[in-house]
């Protein structure tokens, strides 16, 4: 797939801090909030693009400037 073709060079650029992919993260949630976040992602509600789930951490919702 195209993802495999670009994955290694992309990860290298991220590790070297040449690319900052954090702009796509729109929501950070706790594991308890995952079911609701899945619905937001599936239905593209609340500007949801990418969700980061952090078990054991309280939710901090971010909204990307789109």
Considering the entire predicted model, what is its pTM? 0.59
- What's the chain look like in SS3? CHHHHHHHHHHHHHHCCCCCHHHHEEEEECHHHHHHHHHHHHHCCCCCCEEEECCCCCCEECCCCC
pLDDT score at 2: 79
pLDDT score at 66: 45
**pLDDT per residue over 16-49, tens digit each?**
999 999 998 999 999 999 998 889 889 988 988 8
pLDDT score at 15: 96
pLDDT score at 9: 94
pLDDT score at 64: 52
Contact (CB, 8 A) for 56 and 33: no
Question: Domain coordinates of the chain in residue numbers?
Answer: 20-66
For the cut 60, the answer to whether the pLDDT of residue 65 exceeds it is no
């Amino acid at each position: 797939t195209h993802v495999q073709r670009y994955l290694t060079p992309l990860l290298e650029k991220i590790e070297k801090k040449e690319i900052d992919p954090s702009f796509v993260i729109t929501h950070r949630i706790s594991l308890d909030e995952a079911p609701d976040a899945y619905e937001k992602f599936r239905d593209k509600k609340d500007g949801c693009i990418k969700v980061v789930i952090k078990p054991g951490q309280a939710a901090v919702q971010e909204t990307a400037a789109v």
